[in-house]
Homo-oligomer: A and B are copies of this chain.
């Protein structure tokens, strides 16, 4: 792929534009499951399936970031990146992004223990999330860092989502603290990662690897929503052993 690409180094602006182009085309703000959510067309049970599955993704974020930390020899980078582990795990029990996601799941009416065990998560969710762990473990360090650049696009999606959730599912209000925190955390993290990738992708081939890593991460997010849509919207066939909606 990269061998066929033109070899001129992109400027920082051109690289940022290419990355934004990937998001425009492939970030999951376009996914039909999110469109239904934002139109208020999901049932409470469908939101439960979403919260329960997405919990597995949330639960693996600090693991993903620890894998990135474990591959880095630079204390300065590590000091900056470890913030992400703190954001998700919190300073103490009852704090942090994972805890806040559990509270969102509770707001949908699910028991927190049921969610926390991740026992009813779709296998496809698990495979996609684990593919993210594989990516940050096995690809180049540059690609591992670049795969986090979906956060360039998450603020806008989260702002829209909070608005739409409040409008269509007001009973979720008590569970929105997760998104509130991400409104400032995500852009902050994205800025650092974009600056780092821009500085460390010093050949066109490396720039293309970074763009490819962002595309791969978008695929991972997209596949999670495909699986939710298939199992809980249309045709609505969760595989054996997975979460089943009430009355389904």
Residues of chain A whose beta carbon lies under 8 Å from any beta carbon of chain B: 25-26, 32, 123-124, 126-128, 130-131, 134, 215, 218-220, 222-223, 226-227, 229-231, 234-235, 237, 239-241
Residues of B within 8 A of A134 (CB): 130, 134
**Nearest CB of B to A135, in Å:** 10
Q: How far is the CA of A220 from the CA of B241 in the complex (A)?
A: 13
Closest to A225 in B: B239
Contact B239 A123 (CB under 8 A): no
Closest to A124 in B: B223
29 interchain pairs (CB within 8 A)? A26-B240, A26-B241, A32-B235, A123-B131, A123-B220, A123-B222, A124-B124, A124-B127, A124-B128, A124-B227, A126-B131, A127-B128, A127-B220, A130-B130, A130-B131, A130-B134, A134-B134, A215-B241, A219-B239, A219-B240, A219-B241, A222-B239, A222-B240, A223-B239, A226-B230, A226-B231, A229-B230, A230-B230, A234-B234
Residues of B within 8 A of A239 (CB): 219, 222-223, 226
Q: How far is the CA of A233 from the CA of B156 in the complex (A)?
A: 32
Closest to A22 in B: B240
Closest to A126 in B: B131
**Number of this chain's copies in the complex:** 2
Residues of B within 8 A of A222 (CB): 123, 239-240
Residues of B within 8 A of A26 (CB): 240-241
Contact B235 A127 (CB under 8 A): no
Q: How far is the CA of A36 from the CA of B196 in the complex (A)?
A: 50
Q: How far is the CA of A4 from the CA of B220 in the complex (A)?
A: 34
Residues of B within 8 A of A223 (CB): 123-124, 127, 227, 239
Q: How far is the CA of A172 from the CA of B32 in the complex (A)?
A: 35
Knowing A130-B134, A134-B130, A235-B234 are in contact, say whether A124-B226 is a contact too (CB < 8 A).
Answer: yes
**Nearest CB of B to A117, in Å:** 10
Can you add 7 more A-B contacts, CB < 8 Å, to A226-B230, A230-B230? A26-B241, A123-B131, A123-B220, A219-B239, A223-B227, A226-B239, A227-B227
Closest to A133 in B: B134
